[in-house]
């Protein structure tokens, strides 16, 4: 190969094969399906699909902390459920149901709880281990669950039923296509915001944190501050999802805060593919759709079938379902502009 050929190769853009262009296509296909779905589904399935969209939002919050920053938040339901309970109390006790108030309130509640818990777990004098954070968040979630079950003001075991509908002016958002498109619009906005965040220089620092925390610290980054920021942001997203979920379901109950929901969101992300965003969405949709079908077709043994399926996927495709579609390069992401010298790694 001549010197000219070498120079041209160095200046040319990277070639990752045709598989590297699949991410935007898959995102657009998923969006198109999401937009058209209520037109072909029966009403009760539209209600179920709305619930799945809200759970996708919740899964995004976990993917941010685990998939990108390597923080095992095993109590993510704490932020989801605390926001749900808070907006339910606002609606029940104060009659506040305006969307312009309850959704920001849910977001702020999730952010506040994540700030408090993250400050305790992540901002100590010494760097916290993955196990410490996982057990700390799990304990917080479990404690909140027990508190809700034992506090009469929060409804105890029965939770808070009959939450009034969320309103926009005089319009009431009840179950159906209107609530579906509201949830889809919020999910799309949050997804785009997260995508921008993880593809920015801040996202690059998070990826470095996940891969080698000591090296990132050596470069001068305050790794504990980075962890606390993304942890709080994910808590805000989970809080937004929890407030939507409360108004869609019309009631809140202790399971929203506890271990069951916290484990569920981990499975969503592991099944779809951690650190991809779209994997969290796909994982949630596939698990919920398969659960719905199995529970109707095999009522006695459907949890066993679902558990076996999840186990097989995690064993044989540890990178999740999206690893069947996307190249490793595209899943990791392309940060910044390509260097004129031809160094095209994450920058």
**How far apart are the C-alpha atoms of 76 and 279, rounded to whole Å?**
18
Residue 185 CB partners (closer than 8 Å, separation 6+): none
pTM here is 0.86
pLDDT of residue 19: 53
Please tell me the distance from the alpha carbon of residue 228 to that of residue 278, in angstroms, as a whole number.
Answer: 23
Structural tokens at position 303: 């949890």
Give the integer Cα–Cα distance in Å for 169 and 102: 13
Checking if the pLDDT of 93 tops 80, the result is yes
Give the C-alpha separation, 180 to 38, whole Å: 8
Evaluate if residue 89 carries a pLDDT over 70. yes
Helix (H, G, I), strand (E, B) or coil at 334: coil
Which one, of 75, 54, 92, lies nearest residue 186 by Cα? 54
Q: Evaluate if residue 284 carries a pLDDT over 90.
A: yes
CB proximity list for 1: less than 8 A, separation 6 or greater? none
Backbone conformation region of residue 98, classed left if phi is above 0, alpha if psi is from -120 to 50, else beta: beta
Residues 160-193 pLDDT 10s: 998 999 999 888 888 889 999 999 999 999 999 9
pLDDT score for 129: 81
pLDDT band at 81 (very low <50, low <70, confident <90, very high): very high
Neighbours of 324 (CB within 10 A): 10
Mean pLDDT of 112-118: 92
DSSP state of 17: -
Can you give the pLDDT at residue 20? 54
The answer to whether 176 and 46 are in contact (CB under 8 A) is: yes
Q: How many CB atoms lie within 10 A of CB 47?
A: 18
Q: Using CB atoms within 10 Å of the CB of residue 143, give its burial: 0 to 12 exposed, 13 to 18 middle, 19+ buried.
A: middle
- Mean pLDDT computed over 335-339: 48
Mean pLDDT score, 193-200 = 90
């Amino acid at each position: 190969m001549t010197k000219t050929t070498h120079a041209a190769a160095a200046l040319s853009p990277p070639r990752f094969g045709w598989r590297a262009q699949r991410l935007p296509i898959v995102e657009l296909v998923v969006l198109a399906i999401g937009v058209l779905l209520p037109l072909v589904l029966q009403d009760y399935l539209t209600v179920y699909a709305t619930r799945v969209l809200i759970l996708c939002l919740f899964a995004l919050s976990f993917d941010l902390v685990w998939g990108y920053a390597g923080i095992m938040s095993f109590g993510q339901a704490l932020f989801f459920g605390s926001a749900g309970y808070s907006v339910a109390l606002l609606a029940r006790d104060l009659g506040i149901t305006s969307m312009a108030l309850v959704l920001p309130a849910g977001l702020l509640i999730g952010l506040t709880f994540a700030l408090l818990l993250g400050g305790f777990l992540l901002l100590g004098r010494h760097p916290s281990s993955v196990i410490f954070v996982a057990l700390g968040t799990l304990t917080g979630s479990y404690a909140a669950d027990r508190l809700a079950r034992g506090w009469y003001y929060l409804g105890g075991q029965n939770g808070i039923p009959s939450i009034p509908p969320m309103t926009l002016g005089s319009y009431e958002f009840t179950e159906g296509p209107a609530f579906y498109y509201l949830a889809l619009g919020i999910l799309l906005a949050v997804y785009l915001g997260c995508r921008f965040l993880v593809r920015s220089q801040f996202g690059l620092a998070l990826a470095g944190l996940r891969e080698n925390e000591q090296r990132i610290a050596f470069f001068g980054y305050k790794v504990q501050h980075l962890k606390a920021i993304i942890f709080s942001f994910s808590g805000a997203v989970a809080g937004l999802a929890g407030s939507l979920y409360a108004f869609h379901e019309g009631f809140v109950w202790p399971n929203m805060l506890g271990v069951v929901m916290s484990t569920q969101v981990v499975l969503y992300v592991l099944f779809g593919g951690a650190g991809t965003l779209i994997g969290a969405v796909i994982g949630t949709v596939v698990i919920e759709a398969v659960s719905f079908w199995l529970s109707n077709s095999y009522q006695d043994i459907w949890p066993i079938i679902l558990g076996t399926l999840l186990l097989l996927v995690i064993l044989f495709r540890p990178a999740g379902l999206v690893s069947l579609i996307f190249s490793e390069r595209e899943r990791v992401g392309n940060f910044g502009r390509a260097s004129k010298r031809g160094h095209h790694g994450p920058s």
